[in-house]
Amino acid sequence: MIDFDLLSRSPVFKGITPDHLKAIMQEIHYQVKNFGKNEMVVHSGDECSRLFIVLEGSVKGEMADYTGKTIKIEDIAAPRPLAAAFLFGANNRFPVTVITNEPVRLLCIERSEFLKILQQDSQILTNYLNSISSRAQFLSQRIRFLSFKTIRQKIAHYLLDLAGDRLAVVELPLSQAQLAEFFGVTRPALARALGELDQEGLIQVQRRVIRIQDKGKMNELLKG
Amino acid sequence: MIDFDLLSRSPVFKGITPDHLKAIMQEIHYQVKNFGKNEMVVHSGDECSRLFIVLEGSVKGEMADYTGKTIKIEDIAAPRPLAAAFLFGANNRFPVTVITNEPVRLLCIERSEFLKILQQDSQILTNYLNSISSRAQFLSQRIRFLSFKTIRQKIAHYLLDLAGDRLAVVELPLSQAQLAEFFGVTRPALARALGELDQEGLIQVQRRVIRIQDKGKMNELLKG
DNA sequence: GGAGAAGTGTATCATTTGTTACAAACACGT
DNA sequence: ACGTGTTTGTAACAAATGATACACTTCTCC
């Protein structure tokens, strides 16, 4: 049995009433699969020909590097879909290995069946397009961010983005350690860079609260 | 007038016969706009509510950094679409400014009209999904690549990827200078790293031709 | 074959960042 | 107020890379 109430809150089916969703699902072929704890759902490199949506429990995506060591990428809990961006596209293979954190129920829909849904319901189509489109945009921004060479540049970009047009005083939403990880640098290096910018009078740092003193010079940093 | 023969070779309309495409287009509302040379088509930050496809000529995407300096991102020639991944998604704004390289004819389709097409024709829907999905995958891989810290790691990843399961001898498809730019490092630094890997016996470099001597140790590099 | 251009190997030094370690400031429960 | 754990500020040294310069090879065109 499927909890259509929960499923209708999934990003893919947002805005669809549970009843309507139930009607839609009756028209197509799908499967519900049960997994135990720590079971492997898909293996990295498997062909991605079905859409998976977590109905119950949560799974984690792990990426295996060349040595076999695995790194956890992200957790996905009900009712979110699984690797939605990889259902279509040139190379339909999972980039990650997916393993259950706990007992899990998965909704599996063949790509061709899911296509039927997309053609039938414009709301779901829009949802899905928005979803992978947003992901592409997010990734695009992330690449732009990663292309900044120095820590100073990353800080400048981050702070200016955070401040926007508003006042020049911002409070960091992350701890330095988290921010350092987001920047892809070490925590002491980040603290040092913040300290230097403070000494040079570009910003004023009081733990999490930062005042941008000289927006002009901060912009200058992004030049090179 | 639209050259449906050309348009049917666009990634979005691939696999559709020119006649069928003509029939589809007669059902919906669209515009064809003409631009002169060096005219601005869209400005960075503009709302992206229409799909643009280049019918004639070519345009370039430029990104403005905080200082106002512009960097050319890519050229788009007929019959390719423009910023297809930004038509949907959370923040529908162009990340780039688009300027014509020469006199250009553009096909403009409102998002709502394009949605009609997507629902009507499963081939076009699949094309479009493949297109933005591929882009997300490409960006995803690029981020993974950028997350390698050292040049040695980038080299290892690049070479192992290039070699695949085949022999251990690969010929670089790019010059060192181009490869260095792709890696986001300087050319001498890349050459130095290659030289060191050679000295350590992991690879054997003869200008563009590289022989991977020790795949095991190359894999090790990707650990840390 | 020779001249010039492009690509490659290498060296030196400056700059940036990672690494490690430790002290100071803060948060929170008792 | 007091300890305890977390977060933040700083320091010293090592490692990696950038910047710059130059010699050498290979290619191409004449």
Q: For residue B192, what pLDDT band results from cuts at 50, 70 and 90? A: very high
pLDDT of residue B142 exceeding 90, the answer is no
8 Å CB contact of B136 and A134: no
More confident residue, A69 or A58: A58
- Please give the pLDDT value at position B87: 92
Q: What percent of chain B has pLDDT over 70?
A: 94
Per-residue pLDDT, averaged over A68-94, amounts to: 78
- Cα B130 to Cα B116: distance, rounded to the nearest angstrom: 18
CB-closest option in B149, B184, B219 to A67: B219
Per-residue pLDDT, averaged over A5-32, amounts to: 94
Lowest mean pLDDT among A98-102, A116-120, A146-150: A146-150
Q: Exposed e or buried b for every residue in B77-115, given b needs 16+ CB within 10 A? A: ebbbbbbbbbbbbeebbbbbbbbbeeebbbbbbeeebbb
Q: What are phi and psi of B114, to 5 degrees?
A: -65, -35
Say if residues A190 and A151 touch (Cβ distance below 8 Å): yes
Q: What percent of chain A has pLDDT over 90?
A: 45
More confident residue, A218 or A62: A218
Structure tokens at B12: 């979005």
Structure tokens at B50: 């229409």
The answer to whether B123 contacts chain A (CB < 8 Å) is no
pLDDT of residue B65 exceeding 80, the answer is no
Structure tokens at A27: 């028209």
Which residue on chain B is closest to A70 by alpha carbon?
Answer: B223
Distance of CA B140 to the CA centre of its chain: 12
pLDDT of residue A224 exceeding 60, the answer is no
pLDDT of residue A123 exceeding 90, the answer is yes
8 Å CB contact of A143 and B139: yes
The answer to whether A175 contacts chain B (CB < 8 Å) is no
Per-residue pLDDT, averaged over A140-148, amounts to: 82
- The residues in B 54-113 lying below 8 A from A, measured between CB atoms, are 63, 65-67, 69, 85-91, 95
- Helical pair A122-146 and A151-163, crossing angle rounded to 10 deg: 140
Q: For residue A62, what pLDDT band results from cuts at 50, 70 and 90? A: confident
CA atoms within 13 A on the CB side of B202: 19
pLDDT of residue A162 exceeding 80, the answer is yes
Chain-wide mean pLDDT for chain A?
87
Lowest mean pLDDT among B59-63, B83-87, B137-141, B164-168: B164-168
More confident residue, A137 or B21: B21
Cα–Cα separations (whole angstroms), residue B138 to A28, B80, B130, B176 = 31, 18, 12, 22
Nearest to B44 by CA among B98, B104, B109: B98
Per-residue pLDDT, averaged over B121-149, amounts to: 87
Which residue on chain B is closest to A223 by alpha carbon?
Answer: B67
Per-residue pLDDT, averaged over B52-76, amounts to: 73
For residue B170, what are the β-bridge partners?
Answer: B210
Say if residues B58 and B50 touch (Cβ distance below 8 Å): no
Q: Is B210 helix (H, G, I), strand (E, B) or coil?
A: strand
Burial of residue B21, with CB atoms counted within 10 A of its CB: 0-12 exposed, 13-18 middle, 19 or more buried: buried
- Please give the pLDDT value at position B157: 92
The 8-class DSSP code of residue B194 comes to H
pLDDT of residue A68 exceeding 50, the answer is no
Residues with CB under 7 A from strand C: A 149-152, 184-186, 188-189, 192-193, 207; B 149, 172, 175-177, 187-188, 191-192, 194-195, 205-208
Say if residues B62 and B72 touch (Cβ distance below 8 Å): yes
Chain D: positions less than 7 Å from a protein CB are 7-12, 16-21, 26
- Please give the pLDDT value at position B71: 57
Nearest to B71 by CA among A141, A224, A157: A224
- Please give the pLDDT value at position B109: 95
Per-residue pLDDT, averaged over A186-200, amounts to: 93
Q: For residue B67, what pLDDT band results from cuts at 50, 70 and 90? A: very low
- Cα A219 to Cα B200: distance, rounded to the nearest angstrom: 43
User: How many Å does it take to go from CA B184 to C1' D29?
Assistant: 33
The answer to whether A224 contacts chain B (CB < 8 Å) is no
- Please give the pLDDT value at position A69: 47
Q: How do strand B58-64 and strand B97-100 relate by DSSP bridges?
A: antiparallel
- Please give the pLDDT value at position B223: 65
- Please give the pLDDT value at position B73: 65
- Please give the pLDDT value at position A64: 57
Cβ contacts of B137 on chain A, cutoff 8 Å: 85-86, 89-91, 95
pLDDT tens-digit series, residues B145-169: 887 889 999 999 999 888 877 777 8
Nearest residue for C8, CA–C1': B207
pLDDT tens-digit series, residues B70-107: 556 677 888 999 888 889 988 778 878 888 988 999 99
Q: Is B147 helix (H, G, I), strand (E, B) or coil?
A: coil
Per-residue pLDDT, averaged over A54-79, amounts to: 73
pLDDT of residue A31 exceeding 90, the answer is yes
Residue A91: how many other CB atoms lie within 10 Å: 13
CB-closest option in A89, A129, A142 to B137: A89
Structure tokens at A71: 């790194």
Chain C: positions less than 7 Å from a protein CB are 6-12, 16-21, 26
pLDDT of residue A114 exceeding 50, the answer is yes
User: How many Å does it take to go from CA B169 to C1' D26?
Assistant: 21
- Cα B33 to Cα A2: distance, rounded to the nearest angstrom: 49
Q: For residue A20, what pLDDT band results from cuts at 50, 70 and 90? A: very high
> Domains, chain A, ranges and CATH?
4-143 (2.60.120.10), 148-221 (1.10.10.10)
Say if residues A31 and A23 touch (Cβ distance below 8 Å): no
